[in-house]
Structure 1
Amino acid sequence: MPKKILIVDDDPAIVAFLEDLLRDNDYSTCAAYSCAEGLEKVRKEKPDLVLLDMEMPDKGGTMFYVNMRKEGEIKDTPVVVVSGVGPRPPALRKGIPTIEKPVNVSLLLSTVAERIA
């Protein structure tokens, strides 16, 4: 059974790109286009990993991460930040890998593989 990855990003083109890339590499995917939707999906889908954009119109990636870490059943889900944003807030500096946009495909795939091995 393929590992499932939740993509949380408000840009449909980025989501489509990441879904195609991950599916081509034998991962299952699901997507959310806001932090609120992302929290619902992570609770429902129980992904093996979350790819998280930091800059979104609602509460942003930081609030998604902070809220996810408060919930017992999903708090240990690995996260990889995929964002064009510069410095990360303190909540996201503790061992959370960051892939900058535009995405380096080989770096993303190797980081994903390491986090859900």
Structure 2
Amino acid sequence: MFQPGHLHRSNLPGQLQFAIDLFYEVRQDPKEGAMLHFRMVGEIEGKAFSEEFDLHRDTAFNFASVLTRVAAKHGLPTGHNLIMHGHDEYDRMYQDIRDKLGARPGDPVNFDHLAKDGF
């Protein structure tokens, strides 16, 4: 279930048990500028977790890859993508992030940010 600033995902009956909430917002960092702050909380197979991280404005659009890595770190197999390209939730979340960051096609990417954001 998606609503601006929040995505909730959970398993279907008969699948690996998980329930994950992802919250995101734009924050201004005095040194780095606009950052997309994520808070990911949930439970995977009965084990609770919580993690927060930031992505630079210009690298925030690779959020699905980062979310998959964070979820895998906490026990969700990588085949259970939290959000997939081409799905309505992904498209709506992507557009919401673009709107929140004021991003436009063709905006430059600072390659130093890629390393800082763990890519």
Higher percent of residues as strand: 2
Higher percent of residues as helix: 1
Greater gyration radius: 2
Q: TM-score range by the shorter chain?
A: under 0.3
**TM-score, length of structure 2 as denominator length:** 0.27
**TM-score, length of structure 1 as denominator length:** 0.27
